[in-house]
A and B are shown apart, each in its own frame.
Chain A
Amino acid sequence: DTGVSQDPRHKITKRGQNVTFRCDPISEHNRLYWYRQTLGQGPEFLTYFQNEAQLEKSRLLSDRFSAERPKGSFSTLEIQRTEQGDSAMYLCASRATSAASTDTQYFGPGTRLTVL
């Protein structure tokens, strides 16, 4: 257990439905990342927050995707009008602001989304 939790762990939905995932990072970490991982591939970056500010978004994050981190603590990732191509593992990671050289991001267990 890394200290990063995600909910739900699994989500099955029908095409066209909206889904929302939650990530609770390690409490003192001010940086929070969302990644998407499909079978056989490494995680791909989606978006990143520093505190409550969303500082960067990948081209992968279409306008059907929205992420928030309202109080700089937990974050939500919403997918509207889901498509079968959205089926993937959605990973959240957090990192502290530090002068240390390590790139340690702490990942949660992920939410596996299946769109039927």
Chain B
Amino acid sequence: LAKTTQPISMDSYEGQEVNITCSHNNIATNDYITWYQQFPSQGPRFIIQGYKTKVTNEVASLFIPADRKSSTLSLPRVSLSDTAVYYCLVGPSGSARQLTFGSGTQLTVLP
């Protein structure tokens, strides 16, 4: 499985756009990039998944450059409730495989 590197923590203010970048230099051809969000005392929650270019849903956008060696999760206009740990995962999709989490990025949104 491709190793991922994310910042340990980030701070932002309410109403700002937050971009969290994940490096995955050894991503394989059949690997997808998936982001999960975890609030304290809760299980992780799927946010978004993509393979290349840009994916957008009601929660976030995911930007993946052509070489796919990194990806950026973009959260528009964050609020205090977006304070959470965000995990970037890389691996083949559509299989029964378990998820492999790193340490994630602790995002703290300040008022």
Residues of A within 8 A of B (CB): 2, 4, 31, 33, 35, 40-45, 48, 50, 55-56, 58, 91-93, 95, 97, 99-110, 112
Contacts and interface: CB of A to CB of B under 8 A. Distances in A.
15 contacts: A4-B43, A41-B103, A42-B87, A42-B102, A44-B101, A45-B99, A48-B96, A101-B32, A101-B94, A103-B89, A103-B93, A103-B94, A103-B99, A105-B46, A107-B44
Residue of B98, B99, B101 contacting most chain A CB atoms (<10 Å): B98
B99 A101 contact: no
B45 interface: yes
Contacts of A2: 43, 45
B49 interface: yes
A31 B96 contact: yes
